[in-house]
Amino acid sequence: MKKVDYIIVGFGLAAISFCEILERHNKSFVVFYDGRNSSSKISGGLYNPVILKRFTLCWNATQQLEKALPMFRRLEKKFQNNFDEKIPVLRKFASIEEQNEWFIASDKPSLSSFLFSEIIKNNNPSINASFGLGKVMHTGKMDVSKLMDCYQNHLEDKHCLIEKRFEYDKIDLSEEKITYENYTASKIIFAEGFGLKKNPFFNDLPLDGNKGELLLIKASDLKLDYILKSSVFLIPQGNDLYTVGATYNFNDKDVNTTKKAKEELLEKLSKLINCDFEIIDHFAGIRPTVLDRRPLVGLHEKHQNLAVLNGLGTRGVMIGPTVAENLFNHLENDSPLNPEIDIKRFYRKRKIN
């Protein structure tokens, strides 16, 4: 038997954030990951503190950036690689009314440090934006795919990555420890994304997967040096490549790409740009979203050595480090979980009903 402090199931932004905290505190762990589709792997990697549909601040955005940005810097130093690209987000205005709404929002104390108060004139002939653009500051994008590749190599070098499917019925639970195959641990952390739906310990939680599809296009004449937001995001990837996304589908739980989503993205893209492009690739994944739009974090109602770290939704880059640290401090130091993310909120509702 090999003894570790933690067994982690899953490998995405949530799991990486938790692994980083464990390493900083000299905790031993092993990660089980079978290589199946991860929504983190195909995400655009954008971090943006503002909901641009309504010009409002994201939930706990300021605190999340205060945790996430230092973690990104540590990861870059750790792997001697660049993952975090500082790049502004520009929101296309569709009308004078939207311009006015932007001015009102930029005057609010909570948003004034994130929204540039002046309208930016569009000087790019390949972009359709006659009403101008609004600039969001303190934004950027993480190369999540590169980060996951580096982290996977790191775990392999440490001999703590087990590339096989985790089998729930092989868990041997006791009050003091958990035994799984040839490992013993004090806790198991389930960070499986949408895979949580098949987890018999936590599948009663209201995780409602949201399928997203993206296109990768090449547009030599576009020449964007910022992320453009309209009805879709247009994210520069270098070498005249751009990610276009994303769709939202709460009914389709299949990870295969669809013609319908492709047509939707192309229709929206045609209203945003007017230059030639070619489609290079098409991706799909299931985002782990929750009905109340808050993460799922906490201990099992009966088995206190089983914990969940999930439901990061569309903002995993920003949210991951904060909720992972909250869970670690709860497990190690008995610090309270933020009640907005604690899964007890659903246990209480169940008891009331």
Q: Note the pLDDT tens digit of each residue in 119-161.
A: 999 999 999 999 999 999 999 999 999 999 999 999 999 999 9
For the chain, percent of residues with pLDDT exceeding 90: 86
279 pLDDT higher than 90:
yes
The larger pLDDT score, comparing residue 276 to residue 353, is at: 276
The reply to whether 190 falls in a domain is yes
pTM for the model stands at 0.92
What is the pLDDT averaged over residues 270-280? 97
220 and 177 in a single domain? The answer is no
189 and 300 both lie in a single domain: yes
Q: What is the CATH number of the domain that holds 326?
A: 3.50.50.60
| CA-CA-CA-CA dihedral for 249, 342, 191, 315, to nearest 10 | 50
pLDDT at 37: 58
- 76, part of any domain: no
* DSSP for residue 198: G
Q: 255 with 281, same domain?
A: yes
Which of 241, 268, 287 lies at the terminal end of a domain, its last residue? 287
Q: Which long-range contacts (CB under 8 A, 24 or more apart) does 176-183 make?
A: 177/305, 178/7, 178/305, 178/306, 179/1, 180/7, 182/1, 182/2, 183/1, 183/2, 183/3, 183/4, 183/7, 183/30
Residue 349: its pLDDT value, please?
63
Same domain, 195 and 298: yes
How far lies 313's CA from each of 12, 49, 192, 215, 353, in Å? 12, 14, 12, 19, 27
Whether residues 103 and 202 fall in one domain: no
User: What string of DSSP letters covers 7-54?
Assistant: EEE--SHHHHHHHHHHHHTT--EEEE------TTTTS--EE-SEETTT
Contact, 279 vs 259, CB < 8 A?
no
Opening angle at CA 157, ends 155 and 162, nearest 5? 50
* Residue 132 CB neighbours (<10 A): 17
User: Based on the domain organization, do 221 and 180 belong to the same domain?
Assistant: no
Would residue 348 count as lying in a domain? yes
Separation CA 334–CA 149 (nearest Å): 33
The mean predicted confidence, pLDDT, of the chain is 93
Same domain, 215 and 339: no
CATH number of the domain that 273 lies in?
Answer: 3.30.9.10
Q: How far apart are CA 178 and CA 239, in angstroms?
A: 49
Same domain for 158 and 300? yes
Domains contained in the chain, number: 3
Residue at 57 is within a domain: no
Do 216 and 199 fall into the same domain? no
Do 277 and 235 fall within a single domain?
yes
Looking at the domain assignment, is residue 50 inside a domain?
no
Domain end residue (candidates: 266, 287, 308): 287
Boundary (domain end) residue, out of 245, 264, 287: 287
pLDDT (mean) for 208-228: 94
- The CA distance from 12 to 285, in Å, is 12
Are 198 and 220 found together in one domain? no
- Residues 199, 174 share a domain: yes
- Domain span including residue 127: 88-138
Residue 132 lies in a domain: yes
